[in-house]
Structure 1
Amino acid sequence: MSLSPQFLDELRARTSLSALIGKTVKLTRAGREMKGCCPFHNEKTPSFYVNDDKGFYHCFGCSAHGDAIRWMTDQRGLPFMDAVKELAAAAGLEVPAPDRRAAERQERAKGLHDAMQAASDWFEAQLGGLDGADAQVLLKKRGLTAVTAKAFNLGYAPDSRVKLRQHLKDYGDAALIEAGLLIKVEDKEPYDRFRGRLMIPIRDPRGRVIAFGGRVIGDGEPKYLNSPDTPLFDKGRTLFNLDRAAPAARKANRVLVVEGYMDVIALAQAGIAEAVAPLGTALTEAQLERLWRMVPVPLLCFDGDAAGQKAALRAAHRALPLLAPGRSLAFVTLPEGQDPDDAVRTRGRDAFEAILQRSEPLVDRLWTAELAAEPLDTPEQRAGLKRRLAELAGIIADPAVKYEYGQEFRRRFDAHFAPAPRQFQRRQSGEKWKPPPAPVTPDAKAVRAAGIDRVLAKAVLAGLIRHPAEIARHVEVLGSLRMADGALGRLFEAVVDLALEDRALDSDRLVSILARSGFEAVSSDLLRADTMPYSFTRAGGDPVRAHVDLDEAIAIMVAQPEVEQELAHATAALQAGFTEEAFERQVALVKEQQALRDRLANLCQAAEDARQFGSEDD
């Protein structure tokens, strides 16, 4: 029976997932979700979450994941239709009666499944006979045992155009053609598609044979021949070994994606059962979605040659629009010229596991690829890199992930091209810090005279008090700016002086010393958490986030006076006499001014998001 997607969506919408699961699992409120101990594996600390708004459950311990229907089939063990009927009765819905065409399609599919299973059985029998001797030699050469061949139901298609057709004649030529087992060309007699090949059954998630992959014995092209797309088989939505890998992945909490059948089979023989492979095509969006239903971060372990690494990069780009919080990819780089089959056979499982432990996150693979894409010797080339990184981040649909990638790429770019850190001359005990000399050119003096944003300056100063170790990194640029006059300016000089005097000074000691020096009131006012909307001004925040955000705030504070001053000059020039060049200059500066404001707003928003998430976790 075929049910429409609309009916199934309505059924899920009318089902309270937490109420359904709560009948057998004790759940407690955790922010917007419910949590409890996972029923799919033994655990003492709850890692199983139920989200009613999104209609799914997920275990961060074993990666069990699904909706209400999946709960009934996986946890209750009901057949799909029985699960649907029980949920529909509870929701007050009537299950649609099967229509004639749907029943006919289901019956035809059943016949095709039977034909595919019969073909698989026959191929397997041929492998054990005289005709399969060459295929058996190939298996031994590849180091595959008889036990492994049996586990994957490997077979052999004799080099004949009619033997399979004759054996399956009771199914009829039309069904065998529709199943992809026979080839029909114009008005000629149909003939066997697979001839003289090692046969590898491809199964659906329920373990039913839906297609075959055939490897040539000896020389010949193509090396691998797959079934065509059929009513049972959609190449772009199927993963080889998914039926066996899914339960193994749940136990191992990982899934490996390799390039070929033999990679999967060799890994399984070595005891790594959680491997799947696409079927001769680049990894598709549908295949990625299947992988993410098993684990949050699948491991891509493609061949170590140039083609394999290009395929891995294509998969990285294909995944970008689909990324979401907690959902990504990781990449394993094999020694050059080796595939997983070679690596696990020649090095052994332990050595292969060691390679897997050195996997790199998606962001690292993208950064490395773009860094090596072209020379970076000129400003134009570096600007090109910055543009490409921004474009990659822009592909991501999820706004939170997009923001984080943009921030991460900008941080890496700045760090990679930053000048070498200055060596500060050690001062004698008691010697006070002095800012660098004042600018000497008229333009530089004008910029400095324009001053800086006092509110932002207060936030930066609060951040420096919270994180004194950051002061030495920024002392030159901070000293070259005109900090606010009065108490704020004197406090700035005192903070810098104390931090450079004692590089091991932490925030608490710095605050104590400032209090004894007469700065208690102004420093206390700066450190009030409710007055500063930034991560680096809050006590107890993420130090990595504070480090990155403080860098960004100082960069904005440095840039603002110059942009404001140049914009004032451009506006005055335009008022004195309109020219296209002056107008374009003013427009460009207004955009740059807005970009700085947007960057500052992003800092505030990121801090607010972190605060909200932190409070929910608490």
Structure 2
Amino acid sequence: MDSFRNQIDLIKQRIKLSDELSKHINLISKGNDLWCLCFFHNEKTPSMKINDDTSSYYCFGCGAKGDTFSFYTDYLNYSFKDAVIELGKKAGVNIDIRSQNKDNFKIYRKYEILESASSWYHNNLLLDENNISFKYLKDRKISKDTIIEFKLGYTENKNINLYQYLLEKAYTEKDLIESNLFKKNEDGKIRNFFYKRLIFPIYDYDSKIVGFGARSLDGREPKYLNSPESEIFKKGRILFNFHKAKSIARKKQNILVSEGYMDVISLFDKGIKSVVAPLGTSITYEQLMLVWKVCKLPTLIFDGDKAGKKASIKAALLALKHLKPSYSLKFLELPDDHDPDSFINSTNKSEASTFFKRTKDLSNFIFDYAKMSFVYETPDQKIVFDKYFDDITNLIDDKKVKFFYKKDFRNKLFYFFNKNISKVGKNNFKFENQISSLEKKEYLSFLAGFINHPSIRPDLIEDLIKFDFKDFDISKCFSEISKEKNMDMDPKTLIGTIEDKNILKTISKSLNIEIYQLFPYSSPNCESKDVLNYIKESIKIIETRLSNSLKIDKSLKEFKSDSSALKWNEFKNLSYDYIDKIDV
């Protein structure tokens, strides 16, 4: 048997909304659209549009909206249960109300109550008596069109309270308590959950109101308050304005994730429609999956203060764990004294446009934040700083993504820790730890082998990432040619993608006849499997040299202070081992 919800959807498919409306209201055709006078407020010009494809109506004058079922309940005064029975008969859908799970009716009842409450809140906001709420929005530079678009509301009405208003619509006290709009005190009195607050309706993925956000306007705490969670309202699974933003995000492949309701509304008001926000909490895994569903590279724009930065890095590390190829995050960093709302209202269109182009990718954002958070003056502090990146990249689930992020952070650390480069001339640099001319040519041969033999790159890349080239230009060159997008390119195509003149100069030095004569394995004519073995073996020998030379240095110092036959024998053996390796 079909679920109750599926049966409801089937009724909507089979019954044309315009046919039902035309039995009671005069419809007017405008091009391909149908319009009518709104049946919820007095007007002379039709402002209600009927959409048969979605079985819905919307009034551009007062914001009233609904579907076939709400037309029966709100206009024809049917109960929801009776509307289901009547429309089920017309659609030929056999619904045995007695056999339906009571929870289905309870949930639909909640949707219905929340929609009615939202209309009541919204109409209150437009009343002259509630100038405080309208003035607040005006001071925040929110237009009336945007107020109507988001169906913003206010909780107070001198003539009738929300509880009485809903009772008059034939809802029971039990229905209203279960809607979470009211709470019963210990003395048995029923009170509004929201009092003297600006109201933000919260919609689910299917554009149904499932709860409300509310802001106090008289200084009472908490400043922001959300509806209690229920079977239809889970804060961590919903993003404010996602129901509007999703189609634009899919089309433009761009969506902004801001921090709060007013950020979304201000940005929307200024023309940025594809914008959402979590509901007063840190962004969750479910919310991240929701934005990735419509856009592969969403952009986070949180407040510029300390709390905003903390929320941003928390979101960054959450995303890091769940990264997949092509999916990531970008970041926009606001000045310390700004949030998205204040920023968009204090800049002109040109300045804002320039700012929104200055996004920072995920790895750069994480690295820059870490630089501000760690101390790295002593070797021990540097080890802790280095280990942090190993720890966070180990969290990444996808092996391929993990590999390239490890490589990227390793390169960033290399450049960062080698800022103690001394200038030679105007534009040339050299490291404090100099390498010999022959060593440098051997390192260039590694680049040549990597470029000339695409098939071995996946097997060679990890060895070279860990390898200390001791030369800024060679290391920078390897970082560029080993990017993921270059891994499968033939040598000519790969070189053609490089624009940096210094990197091209280093590549030219490596693909040189002198390098091929000194290290034949690096030439394009050598068998790829032999190239792989030669380079791996050469790296081992170099690393053994370095390790043994350090041990020899340590042994010499110990020998000077504590000479003995045993110490001397150890030193000799170590020295011969070192020489043997060089002769391989």
TM-score > 0.5 by shorter chain = yes
Asked if structure 1 preserves the Cα contact closer than 8 Å seen for 2:520 and 2:526, the reply is: no
In structure 2, C-alpha distance between the alignment counterparts of 1:464 and 1:207, rounded to whole Å: 53
After superposition, give the CA deviation of every residue in 1:365-403 in whole Å (9 maximum; x if it has no partner): 111121221221100000000111110111111111111
Taking structure 1 as reference, are residues 99 and 367 closer, same or farther at Cα in structure 2, changes over 3 Å only? farther
Matched residues in 2 for 1:322 and 1:204: separation? Answer: 24
Letter in 2 for 1:131: E
What is the rounded CA distance, in whole Å, between the counterparts of 2:166 and 2:235 in structure 1? 24
1:287 aligned to 2:287? yes
Counterparts of 1:268 and 1:291, CA distance in 2? 17
- CA shift for structure 1 position 559: 2.1
Distance 1:351-1:531 versus aligned 2 partners, 3 A rule: same
Query: What is the RMSD computed on CA atoms of the aligned residues?
Result: 4.5
1:259 aligns with 2:259: yes
Of residues 260-269 and 367-376 in structure 1, the stretch that sits farther from structure 2 once superposed is 367-376
User: Aligned partners of 2:138, 2:437: CA distance in 1, in Å?
Assistant: 78
Equivalent pair of 1:332/1:356 in contact (CA under 8 Å): yes
Alpha-carbon distance, 1:232 to partner: 1.5
8 Å CA contact 2:445, 2:519 repeated in 1 = no
CA positional deviation for 1:300: 0.5
- Rounded Cα–Cα distance in structure 2 between residues aligned with 1:568 and 1:143: 73
Q: Select the residue among 539, 542, 548 that pairs with 1:558.
A: 542
The structural deviation recorded for 1:420 is: 4.6
Partner SS for 1:240: coil
1:177 equivalent in structure 2: 177
Aligned: 1:510 with 2:512: yes
SS at match of 1:506: helix
Conserved? CA contact 1:460–1:554, under 8 Å: no
Structure 1 residue aligned with 2:193: 193
Q: Give the distance between the partners of 1:367 and 1:462, measured in 2 at CA.
A: 31
Distance 1:313 1:232 in 2: 30
Give secondary structure in 1 for the equivalent of 2:154.
strand
Residues 102 and 234 of structure 1, relative CA distance in 2, 3 Å threshold: farther
* Residue number in structure 2 paired with 1:211: 211
Amino acid at match of 2:411: R
Q: Is the 8 A contact 2:449 2:524 kept in 1?
A: no
- Determine the C-alpha separation between the residues in 2 that align with 1:397 and 1:224: 36
1:338 corresponding residue in structure 2: 338
Distance 1:305 1:556, change over 3 A: farther
TM-score (norm 1): 0.59
Alignment of structure 1 residues 565-580 onto 2, 5 Å: none
Matches within 5 A, 1:98-497: 103-158=101-156, 163-169=161-167, 170-186=170-186, 188-418=188-418, 420-421=420-421, 436=436, 459=446, 462=449
1:464-491 Cα deviation digits (max 9, x unpaired): 999xxx997589xxxxxxxxxxxxxxxx
Give deviations 1:189-243, integer Å, cap 9, x for gaps: 2211111111111111111111111111232211111111012110110100011
> Residue 101 and residue 131 in structure 1: after superposition, are their counterparts in 2 closer, same or farther (change >3 A)?
farther
Distance 1:205 1:523 in 2: 57
What letter is aligned with 1:138? Y
Query: What amino acid sits opposite 1:560 in the alignment?
Result: T
Q: Percent identity?
A: 28
**Per-residue displacement from partner, 1:94-141 (whole Å, max 9, x unpaired)?**
xxx999887432221111100000000111111122332211111111
Distance 1:113 1:505 in 2: 65
Deviation at 1:180, TM superposition (A): 1.4
- SS of aligned partner of 1:143: coil
**188-197 or 275-284: bigger deviation:** 188-197
How far apart, in 1, do the equivalents of 2:376 and 2:161 lie? 61
Cα separation, partners in 2 of 1:472 and 1:108, compared to 1, 3 Å: closer
What is the match of residue 531 of structure 1?
530
- In 2, the alpha carbon distance for the partners of 1:228 and 1:266 equals 26
- Summarize the Cα distance change of 1:206–1:506 in structure 2 as closer, same or farther, 3 Å threshold: same
Distance in 1 separating the partners of 2:389 and 2:470: 29
The question of whether the paired residues in 2 share the 8 Å contact of 1:160 and 1:196 is answered with: no
> Partners of 2:254 and 2:134 in 1: how far apart?
32
CA deviation after TM superposition for structure 1 residue 175, in Å: 2.0
Match in the other structure for 2:498: none
User: Which amino acid in 2 is paired with 1:510?
Assistant: N
Paired amino acid for 2:121: F
Which structure has more RCO (C-alpha within 8 Å, separation ≥ 6)? 1
Task: Output the amino acid matched with 2:271.
Answer: G
Whether contact under 8 Å (1:162, 1:192) holds in the other structure is: no
Cα distance in 2 between the residues matched to 1:264 and 1:302: 11
Q: Alpha-carbon deviation of 1:524?
A: 4.7
User: Residues 158, 503 of structure 1: CA spacing in aligned structure 2 closer, same or farther, 3 A cutoff?
Assistant: closer
Change in CA separation of 1:462 and 1:225 when aligned onto 2, cut-off 3 Å: closer
Amino acid in the other structure paired with 2:209: V
- The superposition leaves residues 28-51 of structure 1 with CA deviations (integer Å, 9 ceiling, x where unpaired) of xxxxxxxxxxxxxxxxxxxxxxxx
Distance 1:214 1:284 in 2: 21
Summarize the Cα distance change of 1:531–1:244 in structure 2 as closer, same or farther, 3 Å threshold: same
Label 1:105 to 1:219 Cα distance change in 2 as closer, same or farther (>3 A). same
Deviation at 1:78, TM superposition (A): 12
- Using the alignment, how far apart are the partners of 1:407 and 1:284 within structure 2? 27
Measured in 1, the distance between the counterparts of 2:194 and 2:145 equals: 24
The answer to whether the 8 A contact 2:449-2:521 is kept is no
The CA distance in 2 between the partners of 1:268 and 1:193, in whole Å, is: 28
Q: Secondary structure at the match of 2:212?
A: strand
* TM-aligned CA distance change 1:230 to 1:298, over 3 Å: same
> CA–CA distance in 2 between the matches of 1:474 and 1:148?
54
Instruction: Give the conservation status (yes or no) of the 8 Å contact 1:457–1:557.
Output: no
State the 1:261 CA deviation: 0.7
CA-CA distance at 1:406 after TM superposition: 1.1
User: CA 1:460–1:268 in structure 2 vs 1: closer, same or farther (change >3 Å)?
Assistant: closer
The one-letter code sitting in structure 2 at the alignment partner of 1:297 is L
Greater shift in the superposed pair: 411-420 or 220-229: 411-420
Q: Distance in 1 between matches of 2:511 and 2:220?
A: 76
What amino acid does structure 2 have at the position aligned with 1:120?
Answer: S
- What displacement does 1:556 show? 5.9
User: Which SS does the other structure have where 1:304 is aligned?
Assistant: coil
CA distance in 2, matches of 1:361, 1:405: 12
Residue type of the alignment partner of 1:322:
H
Alpha-carbon shift at residue 560 of structure 1 (Å):
2.8
Structure 1 CA distance, aligned partners of 2:391 and 2:99?
47
Q: TM-score, normalised by structure 2?
A: 0.62
Alpha carbons 1:302, 1:308 under 8 Å: kept: yes
SS of match in other structure, 1:395: coil
Alpha-carbon distance in structure 2 between the residues aligned to 1:101 and 1:237: 31
User: What CA distance in whole angstroms lies between the structure 2 residues aligned with 1:377 and 1:2?
Assistant: 67
Alignment CA distance shift 1:514-1:393 (3 Å) = closer
Query: 2:221 & 2:2 partners in 1: Cα distance?
Result: 40
Alignment of 1:40-55 (within 5 A): none
